[in-house]
Structure 1
Amino acid sequence: MWFKNLRFYHFSENFSLPENFEEQLAEHSFHPCSRTEQSSFGWFSPFGPDNETLTHSVGNCWLLCAKREEKVLPSTVVNAQLDEKVRQISEAEGRSVPRKEKQNLKEDLIHQLLPQAFSRFRLSWGYIDLDRQFIAVDESAANKAEDFLGLLRGSVGSLPVRPFSPSEAVEVYLTDWLQKQDIPAPFELGDEAELRSPQADGGIIRCKQEDLTRDDIQAHLTAGKQVTRLGLVWQENLEFILEADMALKRVKPTDVLLDAKDDLVDPTPEEKVDADFALISGEAGQLFDDLKKAFE
């Protein structure tokens, strides 16, 4: 288990877990889709399907996992059957089928096909840091992270969180750092960036595995382009891409961190999750502290 993305959400008021936290989560635990459901989303044990425990803590950090099932109905299949149904009605009744009736027919077809559909499953991870008063969610898309927060909000009744963001636009900071080649410690410049023109019809420059201090990149910045994505290395331990909405994507440990990690011999699933979460929460917590300082 490793968080490949980090979206930080800061509590707007002091938050503590309710005494019956596990029971509240259990009321919203994952259940497989019924024959008529197109999707299902609920809490799932971090230790896998053979465990009923829905939380795991290391210190004052609490790990959560949610599971989603979605029935896969290819649009080509639905539309093909819909076209055939519309053709039959037109020939039998000698009339065209209006749009609203087509929509009702489509909904009926989906309802009929759902029991035959394949299921797609995915896990969504996040954790609560009560000491630092934030939630970190491992989702690349903001709407998926909001789904996770929505499930948690529905479970505990109230969740006063807001996305972590600086007072100025993130692009202003990233552009200034790259233009001055002055990255706040303990961050270092990576080898990937995206530069965009502020004009709607302006150009986009994407650089991967490049020396970002090159003169031609500096020329684009001088011409007015802004940095909207920037590769960074933190404390020689983590590499990631920082996005304009403060999402950290493609987070991965460096060899320095992996070499320092204690490898367990034949760990149980519980021991593996505990060791991974201890590492993740420890590193991400310190990273959050340094991000706050860098964007003051």
Structure 2
Amino acid sequence: MLFKNALVYRIAHWTVPGLAEIEARLQAAPFVEGGPTTVDSAGWVPPRGEEHGPLAEAVGGQMVLRQRRETRAVPGGVIRQELEAKLDVLEQQTGRRPKGKAKRELKDELVHTLLPRAFPKRADTTVWVDPQAGYVWIGTASTKRADAVVTPLLEALGGGLRLEPLDTALAPATAMAGWLAEREAPRGFTVDRDCELKQPEGEKATVRFARHNLDTDEVVAHIREGKRPTQLALTWGGRVSLVLTEGLTLKRLQFVDGLETDAGGDEGFDADVALFTGELRRLLPDLVDALGGLNDRQPAAAAEAGAVSAAEAAAPAGEAPF
């Protein structure tokens, strides 16, 4: 699997550049290891994991990128402990305990001093760009982390790219509540055995079911009492399992046994990308249909037109832009 979790964005507009231009743009912002006092650094790395490899990989008209982010932070408890000790010393020496601006400056000085002793943490985020279908998939369940990828992605891909979070006519919580209450999964899907229900108001009472049959009166009763699903495990077509969240995040993406590829090296990477993108390109329209279709203010045809470059329009039918 390219990634286990995903947030999906629609391409509202993009004049698709050639792969060589995209590669040049990415090469202008590669990942560079941060220095001992660098709090945060990010850049693009080869998706295949090969040193000095291309930063943009195209497989069957699908493009794969990977962003690496390195952060360095001093634990808050350490900062508080060191700061209090410093304040105690200054109070003994001067008879006054620094406050306000003076205290903040001391804290900033301590953080700067302690940063070189902090261990850096690295995390990679895979990005899948599907220009033909008009979607960008970002391999994370964190909106904050996705936002940190989207901004440099817009610059890297050029072509006036504009992205919008995937939005459907039915809120996922509403749709999931209907499936559970009616004991009927949407077309193409089966309801699995994991679910979280939460009361939207008051004490926000939460009920979690794990490896539990959800086709029961107990689950229906919780729905009728006003609880709404925040997460629900589903399987699409007997091929891909996932957990859908109320925020339209896809979690725990996993192929059903027997669909994984066995090839290694470059062939393995290409095969994995082809299998992963092929399955999820078919899954997403079914999921959108199950959620009442796209909640779009502009006609779908206009969005599709905005994602087509002159080169793609001149290519034979079905041919990818890169």
TM-score band by shorter chain is over 0.9
Could you tell me whether the CA contact under 8 Å between 1:3 and 1:280 is conserved in 2? no
Match of 2:267 among 263, 267, 271: 271
Secondary structure class of the residue paired with 1:206? strand
**Worse-superposed segment, 286-295 or 8-17:** 8-17
* Distance apart, 1:104 and its partner CA: 1.1
Does the CA contact (< 8 Å) of 2:180 and 2:219 recur in 1? Answer: no
Contact 1:31–1:42 (CA<8 Å) still a contact in 2? yes
TM-score, normalised via structure 1 length: 0.92
| 2:283 is aligned with 1:287 | yes
Q: Give 1:8 shift.
A: 0.8
1:142 is matched with 143
1:114 and 2:110 matched: no
**Superposition pairs of residues 164-179 of structure 1, within 5 angstroms:** 164-179=166-181
Separation in 2, partners of 1:46, 1:198: 41
Greater shift, 195-204 or 135-144, is seen at 195-204
Deviation, 1:129, is 0.2
Unaligned runs of 5+ in 2: 294-322
Counterparts in 2 of 1:102 and 1:108: CA distance versus 1, 3 Å: same
Is 1:232 the counterpart of 2:234? The answer is yes
In 2, Cα distance between equivalents of 1:173 and 1:38: 42
Shift of 1:65: 0.3
Given the alignment, which residue of 152, 163, 178 partners 1:161?
A: 163
What is the 5 A alignment of 1:168-247? 168-247=170-249
CA contact (8 A) 2:4 2:253 kept: yes
* More moved, 63-72 vs 16-25: 16-25
Paired residues of 1:46 and 1:273 also in contact (CA < 8 A):
no
Identity %: 28
Tell me by how many angstroms 1:271 deviates: 2.6
Paired residue secondary structure (2:106)? helix
Instruction: Note if contact 2:56-2:63 (Cα within 8 Å) is conserved in structure 1.
Output: yes
CA distance in 2, matches of 1:203, 1:116: 42
Secondary structure of the structure 2 residue equivalent to 1:278: helix
Higher relative contact order, chain-length normalized (CA < 8 Å, sep 6+): 2
Distance across 2 between alignment mates of 1:274 and 1:108? 49
- CA drift of 1:115 comes to 2.1
What is the CA-CA distance between 1:14 and the residue it aligns to?
A: 4.4
State the superposition RMSD in angstroms: 1.7
| Aligned equivalents of 1:21, 1:42: Cα separation in 2 | 14
Shift in Å at residue 205 of structure 1? 1.2
* Aligned partners of 2:13 and 2:161 also within 8 Å: no
Task: Tell me what 2:97 maps to.
Answer: 96
User: How far apart, CA to CA, are the structure 2 residues paired with 1:92 and 1:112?
Assistant: 22
CA contact (8 A) 1:165 1:245 kept: no
User: In the TM superposition, what is the alpha-carbon distance from 1:147 to its structure 2 partner?
Assistant: 1.0
1:81: Cα distance to partner? 1.8
* Cα distance in 1 for residues equivalent to 2:202 and 2:13: 38
* CA positional deviation for 1:284: 1.4
Q: For the structure 1 residues 120 and 49, does the alpha-carbon distance in structure 2 shift closer, same or farther, using more than 3 Å as the test?
A: farther
Match of 2:6 in 1: 6
**1:172 and 1:278 mapped to 2: Cα distance?**
33
Separation in 2 of the partners of 1:51 and 1:199?
53
